[in-house]
Structure 1
């Protein structure tokens, strides 16, 4: 219990009348917000209680009554402090929600399962050789030669389709543009 003489001290009276009612309400809001962010279930979260309390106390200051609420980054003294003492960015695990983290993990696992496939390994090996050789024309020519040998057909052996002016198909040429769409042959 406080001593009656201390109640008469002007600083104590000021604190009890002006500071404590706002501060206790702010601490209550801080606990509620911390609970929303899961601070009591996890060891680390992205929630910064000092930032929240600074913003809350600034916006609920009786001297600012009737003014629009502002975010922490818009408070003048906070801006000056952050300019003088820049913060490191939050680690990725604190910025991602559980759903976003699950999607990243699943995407990595699917990518790994694809990369270990034998046909993909062959393709990656071929791409590495292609980058090392840097003779793309020769490499592409060798690739198609192997494909032709495998099929037993060369590009010259393919039957040619003679062009006749009485064709039942008309081709519409569309020049490339940002909104160009594929055009299909149209019968006459």
Structure 2
């Protein structure tokens, strides 16, 4: 009998598996990760909004050798990522991580210009006068009283309105009584014209011919 030949087992199977199956895919992903981190200035700042784990997950999913012809998918659209985030939502990013350098510079410059104006002696005196005026006049209390008076007035108007009364009309069981109690319809010129008697009664032929002659 022929002997069955088994594949030769490498002396270091774990290292062999990593070198043949893992590193050919993982090493290019790590190189792309370093380039993307450099684009986000991760080597110059202590904290950035760039998440290396998210980027590497998206890169490995899109460069999986088992799905070569698939379209590129964003990180949030990966099925298992979407399922995990739906059950474990992430907190929002702080504002200082969402702003770019130009946007942050505009906010800082606007605050500094406002501060330089507010510290001027004339502006300080004006602000103290306005504060004293507000405290003396008690603007907040006046506004609250104004709206409370309007609310009380509207409430009193609503309570003084007469309650609607039901319009009940008593009908007689006989048609004559119903006609007597029903309001009369206004008389119009068309209603005052009397119909021709020949349309209301049946006349003999001799009277019908006389009526036709009189109409003519």
* Structure-2-length-normalised TM-score: 0.52
SS in 1 for 2:9: helix
Aligned to 1:103: 106
Q: 1:7 to 1:84 in 2, by over 3 A?
A: farther
Q: Aligned pair 1:113/2:116, yes or no? A: yes
Aligned to 2:10: 6
In the TM superposition, what are the counterparts of 1:1-188 in structure 2 within 5 Å?
5-6=9-10, 15-132=18-135, 133=137, 134=139
Aligned to 2:208: none
Q: Determine if contact 1:6/1:12 at 8 Å carries over to the other structure.
A: no
Give the distance between the partners of 1:49 and 1:67, measured in 2 at CA: 23
Give the distance between the partners of 1:7 and 1:25, measured in 2 at CA: 26
Q: 1:65 to 1:127 in 2, by over 3 A?
A: farther
Unaligned runs of 5+ in 1: 137-188
CA shift, 1:75, in A, is 1.1
Aligned to 1:185: none
Q: 1:25 to 1:7 in 2, by over 3 A?
A: farther
CA shift, 1:57, in A, is 0.8
Residues 116-144 of structure 1: CA distance to partner in whole angstroms, max 9, x if unpaired? Answer: 123323433344345432259xxxxxxxx
SS in 1 for 2:66: helix
Q: Determine if contact 1:27/1:53 at 8 Å carries over to the other structure.
A: yes
Residues 49-70 of structure 1: CA distance to partner in whole angstroms, max 9, x if unpaired? Answer: 1010011111111233222212
Aligned to 1:143: none
Unaligned runs of 5+ in 2: 1-7, 144-216
Give the distance between the partners of 1:41 and 1:109, measured in 2 at CA: 26
* Structure-1-length-normalised TM-score: 0.58
